[in-house]
Structure 1
Amino acid sequence: MSKNKTIAVDKFESMQAFTQVVEAGGFAAAAREVGLSRSQVNKLVANLEVHLGVQLLHRTTRKVTPTDAGRAYYERCINILAELEEAETSIARLQTEARGTLRINAPMSFGMRHLGRAIAAFSHQHPQLQVEVTLSDRFIDPISEGFDVTLRISEYPDDASLISHLVMPTPRVLCAAPQYLAERGNPGQPKQLREHSCLHYGHLPSAHRWFLQGPEGEVVVSISGALCSNNGEVLRSAALEGLGITLLPTFIVANDLQQGDLRVVLPEYRAPTLSLYVVYPVNRHLSEKVRLLTAFICDRFDTHKIN
């Protein structure tokens, strides 16, 4: 009886060590995370491989990566460990209470304009929760980078390892400053955009093409301009200074359009609408803090509450 209990405890520790090695990309970093020596972590993972009869990791002097079997086993392990963690922590807290640290990633422009007040309101509701917000326009991997929740503006996030909740559409509009249009003219057809300075996102695969929907269907226009950036605020500022025509979400330029500082260009043509999603790894689906934040974000940013 005691032997079986010892085996179960060793297996649990081995699973923890193995998942840390995969996430950290090495034994030394994993050892620091779990508070063991490098040799102890290596032994736990080696024992696990012997027990399973498969190689879980490719080991080189520079990097440690999971094998195909290791990746499959890792996905199972993180679900099991998450369930065990949730079962243990649920005993010590009320059902409606969130505790611990909640790590959030969001796009820079949306985060700066709309997320600060929202997270402050959420924190007031859950004072025992510590929230860490990272803003970045880089396309991150929530699993490998350790984020509990990611706000993502994109087409539907088609990833089996992630759960996605649609929050709201984020329509985009072509616009430019009145002084630019006065100097360069207002294009009447999409093909005339080729003659203009087009300020565009520089990190997308289709950076030098705009896809528009109009009366005749989809139109693809090759563009160029004085500036490209991976940040919408930079493009907005450049457009306000009369540098060119830009294509931006309305949540960035709605006030500028209302005040007349920017004007819509080619109003009959629209870019395909992107959407704001709350995204989190499958293994976070039992977390009370993730559930509460997801419900809060979906309620806060519906189509009636933001441009």
Structure 2
Amino acid sequence: MMDQLLAMRVFCAIVEAQGFSAAAERLDSTHSSVSRQLKRLEAELGVQLLNRTTRRFALTAAGQRYYDACVDILARVEAATQAMAHEHQRVAGTLRVSVPLAIGTLELADWLPAFQQRYPDLHLDLSCSDEMVDLVADGFDVALRISQPLGDSSLVAKVLVESDIVLVASPAYLARHGLPVAPQALETHALIAFSGSQTATEWVIETAQGDTVRIPLEGRLSTDAITAAYSASLSGVGIAAFTWNTVRPALARGHLVHVLPSCTLGKRLYYALYPHTRHVAPKVRAFVDYMGEHYRAA
């Protein structure tokens, strides 16, 4: 079957270049190929488009009408192609994102305003939950997760940042109970356990000397909501563990104090997860790149 659009382009090139050789050069083709395309087109249409001699050619009446129609059709095709290319690059529409509570609530003010300012045509549909979701089945474009290193997955898993897990408490709590100077001293303090964590029963603390100290979480409060643990620590209930990214603003404002700064409870990775696809949607790429920039800057 003849490629109708290609034949139209060849015919227009012949007319506009005023010759087969010039048309072939314009199309990066050969004289014989251009001539063959025209013959096939005339046979397909059942009309003669050009009166040609060895030295020159001229459009027939049918050829003139067909040329005018081709110019209009090809212009429309080009305009549609350009419009689709522009739409493909434009960051717009609705982006459904699943994020953990820490990112969707505690860290929200640090990243959302600037993101919306950069992409004013994008509507963000944000679902905040620490539960793992099925991106495809639940209709999400991308998910952010804070976890230990992920294994093999059917999803693209891009690491945005690595963050230390740190201990914090409010100034009011430390004024009443004192500042712990060693991990073992935590056993006499009120500890806030986040039961949604993989370390819900104990904290495994590594000292600056490389020693490991295990602290059982037998405090007065255990919660499965990171937001509740955060509020409790701000209100002076006890000492809690969070990723550095989550508590960085509160530490900078003096609302929380870094407890045992020479120790660490390990690290967590911030991931962006999205389905494998040949062409990543501009809105997904924009969001993932922006969050990577945000965390690198922080």
What is the root-mean-square deviation of aligned Cα atoms in Å?
A: 2.8
Distance of aligned partners of 1:99 and 1:183 in 2 relative to their CA distance in 1, 3 Å threshold: closer
- TM-score (normalised: structure 2): 0.63
Q: Which runs of 5+ in 2 are unaligned?
A: 1-80
Q: Secondary structure at the match of 1:200?
A: strand
In structure 1, the partner of 2:48 is: none
Match of 2:268 among 265, 274, 295: 274
**How far apart are the structure 2 equivalents of 1:198 and 1:284?**
47
Q: How many pairs align?
A: 215
Counterpart contact for 1:285–1:291, Cα < 8 Å:
no
Which position in structure 1 is the counterpart of 2:137?
144
Alpha-carbon deviation of 1:161?
Answer: 0.7
Question: Which residue matches 2:254?
Answer: 260
Q: 5 Å matches for 1:91-170?
A: 92-94=84-86, 95-112=88-105, 113=108, 114-124=110-120, 127=121, 129-170=122-163
Q: Is the 8 A contact 2:196 2:225 kept in 1?
A: no
One-letter amino acid of the structure 1 residue matched with residue 84 of structure 2: A
Find the aligned partners of 1:263 and 1:100 in 2 and give their Cα distance. 41
Percent identity between matched residues is: 29
Cα separation, 1, equivalents of 2:92 and 2:166: 41
CA distance in 1, matches of 2:194, 2:279: 33
The residue number in structure 2 matching 1:235 is 229
Per-residue deviation, 1:135 = 1.5
Secondary structure in 1 matching 2:205: strand
CA drift of 1:98 comes to 4.0
Cα separation, 1, equivalents of 2:236 and 2:280? 49
Trace 1:45-60 onto structure 2 (pairs within 5 A): none
Alpha carbons of structure 1 residues 243 and 302: separation in structure 2 relative to 1, 3 Å? closer
> Contact conserved, 1:212 with 1:272, CA < 8 A, in 2?
yes
TM-score by length of 1: 0.61
SS in 2 for 1:244: coil
Counterparts in 2 of 1:134 and 1:244: CA distance versus 1, 3 Å: same
Partner of 1:192: 185
Change (3 A) 1:191 1:270: same
Distance 2:289 2:251 in 1: 31
- Distance in 2 of aligned mates of 1:285 and 1:192: 53
Match of 2:166 among 163, 166, 173: 173
Determine helix, strand or coil for the equivalent of 2:130: coil
